[in-house]
Each structure stands twice: as structure tokens, then as C-alpha cells.
Amino acid sequence: MRLDKFLQVSRLVRRRTLAHTLCEAGRVRINGAAAKPSAPVKLGDVITISRGQRRLVAKVLAVPERLSPSQQLVEVLGRMSVEDLKSGTRDSGLGTR
């Protein structure tokens, strides 16, 4: 699945056009490398989105076919912190830390 579409379907970004713009501006990275909107998203990829002073890091646990109910979002993404990236561990869901 294309990165811009994945960002919209996973609800990391509200609109696909915004996801496309963020990718073009170099604000989205896959596994540490800047990614184009058409970059493929695979299981296990780590996606980083930088917006101003905020940075979101998520690990892809599943690649959905289409927009799904928000209850299933936890099954798609795992929230990660900088410490998790350094140690190689991850949280099992989107719960708070």
C-alpha cells in the first residue's frame, strides 16, 4: 500500500492530501529514511511523522485494505518511544505510557 494512503487509512493523518504534502516536505520517514508518498508500506516498518515540535513514531503491525473502525486501529499500529527504538522493543498497542 502507498504511504500516503496508509497514513490516511491508519488515521495517523486525517486526509491523504495532507499525508502527500508531509511526504513531499520530507516530514515522513520509513525506517529512518525520507519517504515519498508512493513508497510502499510493509509489515514491521517504523514510520516517523514530524509536525512542528511533535514527532510520532509508530510500527506497522498490519496493512489494512481500507478504512476500518477505530477499534481495529490498535491492531494496525504500535506506539513506540525513542527509548524503544534504541532498545529494539515496542509497546503492544496504543496504550499510554
Classify 3-87 by CATH class.
alpha beta
Q: Is the pTM of this model over 0.85?
A: no
pLDDT (tens, 9 = 90+) of the chain, 97 residues, equals: 899 999 988 888 889 999 999 999 999 999 999 999 999 999 999 999 998 888 888 888 888 777 666 555 545 556 555 566 566 554 444 443 3
Domain boundaries, given as residue ranges, for the chain: 3-87
Classify each residue of 74-83 as buried b or exposed e, where b means 16 or more C-beta atoms within 10 Å of its C-beta. Answer: eebbbbbeee
Q: Which residues contact 54 (CB under 8 A, 6 or more apart)?
A: none
